[in-house]
């Protein structure tokens, strides 16, 4: 699985577990990063930087929006 799809799935899981469209990068790291790494078979040494890059790409694509420092909102994916 590609990083983008793994991160999208992680955001959906996290938001569903919280019953909220809002999430933080730190929550993704703490609760979902291991699963993202497993799903992508990532061997890189900087997965948190890759996660940050993918979050920026998703923001640029309009799939998530940056609310404030470290806080994002899922824009249109179903819970």
1: part of which helix (H) or strand (E)?
none
Q: Domains (ranges, CATH) in the chain? A: 3-74 (1.10.10.10)
Q: Using an 8 Å Cβ cutoff, are 54 and 41 in contact?
A: no
Among 3-7, 23-27, 39-43, 72-76, the minimum mean pLDDT is found in 72-76
CA separation, residue 47 to residues 3, 18, 53, 60 (Å): 10, 24, 10, 20
Q: Give tens-digit pLDDT for 41-72.
A: 998 999 999 999 999 999 999 999 999 988 99
Q: Give tens-digit pLDDT for 8-25.
A: 999 999 999 999 999 999
The Cα angle at residue 74 between residues 72 and 78, in degrees rounded to 5:
160
């Amino acid at each position: 699985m590609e990083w983008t799809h793994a991160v999208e799935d992680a955001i959906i899981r996290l938001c569903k577990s919280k019953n909220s469209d809002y999430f933080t990068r730190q929550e993704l790291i703490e609760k979902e990063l291991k699963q993202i790494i497993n799903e992508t078979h990532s061997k890189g040494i900087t997965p948190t930087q890759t996660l940050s890059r993918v979050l920026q790409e998703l923001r640029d694509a309009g799939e998530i929006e940056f609310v404030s420092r470290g806080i994002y909102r899922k824009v249109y994916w179903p819970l």
